[in-house]
Amino acid sequence: MCPDSLNLPEPSKDPRPRRRLPTGPRRETFTVDLKTVTPILGGAPVPRQLSEVDSIRVPTLRGHLRFWWRALYGHAYGEHQRLELARRERELWGGMTLGEEKPCRSQVDLCVRAVTVSAQDPDDISLGEEQSYALWPARAPKNGEAAPRWKPGLRFTLEVSAPEGELSDEVRHALRAWVLFGGYGSRPRRGCGTVTFATEEQCRQWLPKSATRAELRRLFGDVPLFQPELAGAPRDLPLLRGARLLRGPRDESTVDGSKAWLEALGWLRAFRQGTAGIQGARARNPSPTGDNRAGRSNWPEADKIRHHARTYPEEHAPRPAYSRTPAWPRAGFGLPIVVHFQQGKRDSKDNHVPAEPKHMQLQWVRDREREPKDRLASPLIVKAMPLANGRFEPIALWLERGYPEGGKVLLVQSNRPLEATRADFDVLRAKDDQPLFTPLREVTSLREAFFNWLRDTKKAREA
């Protein structure tokens, strides 16, 4: 972090230290001006907090850039070349001890300066808000406070220095991919922390004219992007080579990045709620209060959880369409999934009502292991993609990525894994299920189900 990134007055001479490499390659330095267009959640060393001193932190930026470098270039290293990929990444971006090799410093220097912070948003997150589907981790815990967020409008200048030639090109492509597909801080795969370039000239230089594969391939040169036919064997490594990209349903883009973000976020929200079933959810599951809330979800998870927990109110008994055989299709959107059921205690006649299952989570575990893993990132990114004309387009990007080798999804209740609930990833339905959610029929993957649904409902189209 540079001294002038702390909002101090500009000195007469630039005090930023320059690395001296008398025997090394010539270096190239470029500067970009960036601004945020969606809220920033996290990004500080302390979880659920914002950094008051370093609003934009170099370590956080470096982590984002090296992720997108892997997504761009990791395909060149096969499944049996993981060590070579790790060594190549470490040489460029730095890293700790690798085998017998000592820690090494990154060849890429990042400097953040001229930070102009936006206002903080300390308010709690209401589940009725559109943005709550991305920002719900900021909700206030019981007897606690909501996690603060930076509002859109934060600006900063990023200076990047790297060896000239091929390495500099790779760093530029990683920066471009981060701006187009990523974001700063937590929840960038749900569109939080989206940035764009702050000047018209840099927008034209760095960004595509539209969210089409042809435009994106033009910008990235010979780096393979969005070519499912080139995808290799599934690997636990997110790549852009075999990724698929869907864009908004119309040719018109929007000036407001927040609107484009909420549109893309709404696609995922509507699909995951799964209330569009055989004849429509409200026709079969009307709200008992007569309000406009969505009906009972037609995904199988809630019914299968009730099967295994064996406790539920009579009106919420598992539906015959879903058997006890485990299948957890929504695990493909990322784990863990915390499942909350409403806990009613008495009916109108003051009779005891069986409780819904409590403290349930879907997690994952490797074969022959018993201890569940904490997290598996989603391969799906929904966000507002910035364009060269300063406008934005909603996109859904599904990265090329396999599921963990030997990985199984299972239900955990009160920190106790339920072994009988283990199932493979990407199982959309058990053999004895009759899916009530139409998109889960006749397809073999969650990605196919989601993208088919986007096209069939005319919410999005192939890029």
Q: Per residue, what are the HEC states of 292-359?
A: CCCCCCCCCHHHHHHHHHCCCCHHHCCCCCCCCCCCCHHHHHCECEEECCCCCCECCCCCECCCCCCC
Which residue, of 185, 206, 227, is where some domain finishes?
206
| Res. 15: pLDDT tops 70 | no
**418 and 307 housed in the same domain:** yes
List the one residue out of 247, 296, 293, 291 whose CA is nearest residue 276. 296
Which residue, of 188, 206, 224, is where some domain finishes?
206
| Res. 326: pLDDT tops 70 | yes
Give the pair of three-digit tokens for residue 395. Answer: 């996109």
**pLDDT band of 363, cuts 50, 70, 90:** very high
Which residue, of 206, 226, 257, is where some domain finishes?
206
**63 and 192 housed in the same domain:** yes
Q: Is 199 domain-assigned?
A: yes
In this structure, which long-range contacts are made by residues 7-15, counting pairs with CB atoms below 8 Å and at least 24 apart in sequence?
7/115, 7/116, 7/117
Return the pLDDT at 346.
Answer: 47
**165 and 270 housed in the same domain:** no
Total residues found in the chain within this entry: 463
CA distances from 211 to 347, 381, 391 (A): 53, 14, 11
**202 and 273 housed in the same domain:** no
Q: Is 362 domain-assigned?
A: yes
Q: Is 246 domain-assigned?
A: no
Q: Which of 153-157, 258-262, 287-291, 380-384 shows the lowest mean pLDDT across its residues?
A: 287-291
Distance separating alpha carbons of residues 200 and 106, to the nearest angstrom: 31
Q: Is 250 domain-assigned?
A: no
Return the pLDDT at 290.
Answer: 36
Q: List 396's β-bridge partners, or say none.
A: 246, 382
Q: Is 290 domain-assigned?
A: no
Distance separating alpha carbons of residues 37 and 199, to the nearest angstrom: 14
Give residue 122's domain range. 3-9+25-206
Mean pLDDT calculated for residue range 70-83:
91
Q: Is 288 domain-assigned?
A: no
**271 and 396 housed in the same domain:** yes
CA distances from 366 to 261, 413, 446 (A): 35, 18, 21
> How many C-beta atoms lie closer than 10 Å to residue 117's C-beta?
17
**67 and 189 housed in the same domain:** yes
Return the pLDDT at 173.
Answer: 98
pLDDT in tens, 222-276: 999 999 888 888 888 999 999 999 999 887 777 789 999 999 999 999 999 886 5
Cβ contact 326:430 at 8 Å: yes
**201 and 270 housed in the same domain:** no
Q: Is 227 domain-assigned?
A: no
Distance separating alpha carbons of residues 176 and 183, to the nearest angstrom: 11
Cβ contact 192:39 at 8 Å: yes
Cβ contact 428:446 at 8 Å: yes
Report how many domains make up the chain: 2
pLDDT in tens, 115-138: 999 999 999 998 888 898 899 989
Return the pLDDT at 329.
Answer: 96
Q: Is 218 domain-assigned?
A: no
Q: List 69's β-bridge partners, or say none.
A: none
Angle at 47 between CA 381 and CA 366, to 5 degrees: 60
